[in-house]
Amino acid sequence: MATHAKPPRKSRQRPSRTVTGPSALEPDDVNIRAAGALYDMAALQSAERSRFGYKRAAKAVAGLPALVSDLVESGTLKEIPYVGPSSIRIITEVVRDGRSATVESAIERAGNPSRLVAGRRLRGNFLSHFAMQRALAMNLPPHIVDKAAFRGDFQMHSQWSDGGESIATMAGACQSLGHTCMGVTDHSYGLPIARGISMAAAARQHTEIDKLNARLEGTFRVFKGIEANILADGNLDLQAEERAAFEFVVASPHSLLRRPERQTERMVAAVRAPSVAILGHPRGRMFNSRAGVIADWPRVFEAAADRKVAVELDGNWHRQDLDFELARLALDAGCLFALDSDAHSIGELRFTDYAIAHARIAGIPADRVINCWSNEALDAWMEERRG
């Protein structure tokens, strides 16, 4: 993502609205709306090259650290890499009119807008980089989770499965982010496509983690986790006695993510499965490409709250799952939360910022967020889940 624009000017931000209801903190994210118009335009292109060009411009806008309206005003939009004249016209229309006449007439010419409308639904409640930053800086009551209260990340992948780095390298990178703990959650053997690890490999991994923890002498703690796969019937790919070998289990869906029917029973069964501690990326949605699991989420959240299973806000930019709107329902249901990066490399560890941003918009207190707990509280909670 491009990061070459000037920093945001505080005075250009919208004044905070009066708090009148649950939607009061929702971001007016002009950057993501402008990026969305460019994604629409990309979907309308028959030539691969122009489709690629609009998509690349859209990504650049979604990743801007500045408010796109400021760049329109100052005429500096053309300095953003990959944003060409036709993209500039569309962005300018969105900023000035709230909609793009260029995109709208292209839709009219194309005739059948249904595919486009479907695509728009796959971009709901995603935050741009700018909106994420704004949510982190938002002035909120001190009990609401923030970066200062955040101790560590509980979903990440190492070279043991499909990640790019060793556990020691990931731990070092987490420490330089100011974290004091982390959970390693490589994929379990039921997901060979993600190079899921065998139980024998997990045992060797645990020896490696023990040695690393000993070397860190209490300055930083690595927790032993696993990301288990939720099967079609809500069972997991690891047996209950296998799950007990880990300090905590993240259960996540990686299949049946495009089904139009509800999968409430599957998700409820997963959170009720013994030794599950976190429900990972609960929908399995993907930006602009799939909606993920459809379910009666308040029922799933109720089951999670009942078992003290934390529901995850996965901060990977393409996931942002749960988003602030569903997170608010989970908050009402009494859930605990895990705010994680789902990083597969050290560069992706910063995705926790998106998870924290969604949690702040949802108004989640730090004491409901496991990432803010002490090692002792985490040990006790994990042991209870394994119970």
Total count of residues recorded for the chain: 387
- Name the β-bridge partners of 253: 230
Residue closer to Zn ion, measured from CB, 33 or 344: 344
Amino acid at 88: I
Closer CB to Zn ion, 92 or 263, in the complex:
263
Query: Which of 31, 229 has the CB closer to Zn ion?
Result: 229
Residue among 218, 202, 161, 204 nearest 343 (CA): 161
Nearer to Zn ion, 252 or 371 (CB): 252
Stretch 281-300 residues interacting with Zn ion (CB under 5 A): none
Decide: 156 and 349 in contact? Cβ < 8 Å.
yes
> How many other CB atoms are there within 10 angstroms of residue 39's CB atom?
26
Residues 6+ apart with CB under 8 A from 355: 312, 313, 314, 315, 339, 340, 341
Stretch of 93-101, 131-139, 249-257, 346-354 lying at the interface with Zn ion (CB under 5 A): 249-257
With contacts defined by CB under 5 A, name the span among 100-108, 110-118, 125-133, 252-260 that binds Zn ion: 252-260
Least separation in angstroms between residue 154's CB and Zn ion is 13
Q: Which is nearer to Zn ion, 318 or 350 (CB)?
A: 318
Q: How far apart are CA 345 and CA 260, in angstroms?
A: 33
- Give the span between the Cα atoms of 175 and 156, in whole angstroms: 14
Residue 5 or 370: the one with the smaller Cβ distance to Zn ion is 370
Compute the least distance from the CB of residue 90 to Zn ion, in Å.
34
Stretch that binds Zn ion, among 137-145, 248-256, 259-267, 300-308 (CB under 5 A): 248-256
| Closer Cβ to Zn ion, 128 or 252, answer by number | 252
Specify the residue, 94 or 167, whose C-beta has the smaller distance to Zn ion: 167
Binding piece for Zn ion, criterion CB under 5 A, among 66-74, 247-255, 350-358, 360-368: 247-255
Residue 287 CA: distances (Å) to CA of 31, 92, 119, 316, 322: 15, 23, 9, 10, 12
> In this structure, are residues 126 and 323 in contact, taking their beta carbons and an 8 Å threshold?
yes
| Number of residue whose CB is nearest Zn ion | 252
Shortest Cβ distance from residue 327 to Zn ion (Å)?
A: 18
Tokens of 100: 């793009």
Count of residues engaged in binding Zn ion, rule: CB under 5 A:
1
Taking contact as CB under 5 A, which single stretch among the options 140-148, 161-169, 246-254, 322-330 is the one that binds Zn ion?
Answer: 246-254
Cβ distance to Zn ion smaller for residue 92 or 320: 320
Task: Name the minimum Å distance from CB 215 to Zn ion.
Answer: 29
Q: Least separation, in Å, of the C-beta of 281 and Zn ion?
A: 6
Shortest distance (Å) from residue 315 CB to Zn ion: 13
Shortest reach from residue 252's CB to Zn ion, in Å: 4
Q: How far is residue 290's CA from residue 39's CA, in Å, rounded to a whole number?
A: 15
Task: Examine residue 229 and tell whether it contacts Zn ion (CB under 5 A).
Answer: no
Edge to edge, the sheet with strand 336-340 lists 152-153, 181-187, 221-230, 248-253, 276-279, 310-314, 336-340
Stretch that binds Zn ion, among 143-151, 245-253, 333-341, 346-354 (CB under 5 A): 245-253
Instruction: By CB under 5 A, tell whether 252 contacts Zn ion.
Output: yes
- How far apart are CB 255 and Zn ion at their closest, in Å? 11
CB contact set of 359 (below 8 Å; sequence gap of 6+): 145, 313, 324, 327, 337, 339, 369
Nearer to Zn ion, 252 or 275 (CB): 252
Q: Where are the alpha helices (DSSP H) in 20-100?
A: 30-43, 48-62, 68-74, 85-97
DSSP code of 6? P
Smallest gap, in angstroms, from Cβ of residue 375 to Zn ion?
Answer: 25
CA-CA-CA-CA dihedral for 113, 116, 120, 122, to nearest 10:
130
Pairing of strands 310-314, 276-279: parallel
Letter for the amino acid at 31? Answer: N
Instruction: Supply the minimum distance, in Å, between the C-beta of residue 173 and Zn ion.
Output: 20
How is residue 43 written in tokens?
Answer: 């979907």
92 binds Zn ion (CB under 5 A): no
Which residues would be at the binding site for Zn ion (CB under 5 A)? 252
